[in-house]
Structure 1
Amino acid sequence: MFDKQKRYHSVMLIDDNEIDNLINQKMIEAANIATYIYTHTGAKSAIEFLKNIEKIDDIADQVLPEVIFLDIDMPLMDGFQFLDEFEKLGENTRKKCKIVMLTSSINPQDMNKSKKYSYVKLYINKPLSQESLENIKL
């Protein structure tokens, strides 16, 4: 669960729907669980961001998000393609970033497929709510 005493330094939202990103960002802000919220409307830009941060050893640990909320259904690169690219990132990045699949997909195959990735810690339906944030256990 997001420990009410613990504030994450940063979290990342990856969703091609800007309205969903805005709603989810407002929910995270209201819950006061993160100092910084990075928002990406594409999985490709999010992967590039993570790759670029990895290159800067001095700040990588402070800038990498502790939690990544990832949508599945996106153009150009979907959530599962993001996970495939994520697995190629450095060990420190993979250890630090916990991934929560945040999706509107009700397809049981998507949920089962997400379980094959060790970095995916949870699968929840969007949008985020105070209740879903309180029930997240990482």
Structure 2
Amino acid sequence: MKVHDYIIVDDDPTNNIICKLVIEKFDSNARVQVFQKPEQGLAYLQSPLKNESTSKIVLFLDVNMPTMTGWDFLDEFKKLDKSIRNKFRIYILTSAIEDFDEEKIKYPMVKAFLSKPLRKATLQELDLNFSS
């Protein structure tokens, strides 16, 4: 059975537990990595293991974090090699009520902006085809 990789980058430990549980209920083949510090998440994205992955990796990213915002994270993400960037499907997971119109233009790699907490129904609506 093929493993599906998910990464959560969020400074909120409660949200991370909820998110991880929802993903595991939604996808019995899920392998979920959680990072409360965005800098550690970025380092993980650059690791050789991620470079060898053959399927897409779903990344849920919070916007408001104290040491590095989600936007700062995406600015650093854009600097990664294209072969690494292309492996990820990024979703912003936020409790903010903004519309993010400017950010949608600046960060086209973001597939969607999702409200916290993550729900199984939300995951079912996303096109999470891991072979493409």
TM-score by length of 1: 0.82
Superposed, which structure 2 residues align to 1:1-138 within 5 Å?
Answer: 9-32=4-27, 34-51=29-46, 53=47, 56=48, 60-62=51-53, 66-108=57-99, 110-137=100-127
Distance in 1 between the 2:122 and 2:68 partners?
Answer: 26
Kept in 1, the 8 Å contact 2:63–2:70? The answer is: yes
Distance in 2 between the 1:48 and 1:111 partners?
Answer: 28
Mean CA deviation greater in 29-38 or 13-22 = 29-38
Question: Structure 1 segments of 4 or more deviating over 3 A?
Answer: none
- Identical columns (%): 31
Instruction: Please state how far the C-alpha of 1:33 moved relative to its aligned partner.
Output: 5.6
Aligned match of 1:4: none
Instruction: Please state how far the C-alpha of 1:8 moved relative to its aligned partner.
Output: 5.6
Instruction: Please state how far the C-alpha of 1:63 moved relative to its aligned partner.
Output: 8.3
Give the SS at the match of 1:92.
helix
Kept in 2, the 8 Å contact 1:10–1:63? The answer is: no
Letter of the 1:22 partner, please give it. Answer: I
Letter of the 1:96 partner, please give it. Answer: K
- Give ranges in structure 1 of 5+ residues lacking alignment: 1-6
Structure with the larger helix share: 1
Kept in 1, the 8 Å contact 2:61–2:90? The answer is: yes
Distance in 1 between the 2:20 and 2:50 partners?
Answer: 24
Aligned-residue RMSD, C-alpha? 2.3
Instruction: Please state how far the C-alpha of 1:118 moved relative to its aligned partner.
Output: 1.9
Distance in 1 between the 2:52 and 2:76 partners?
Answer: 19
Tell me the matched-pair count: 128
TM-score by length of 2: 0.86
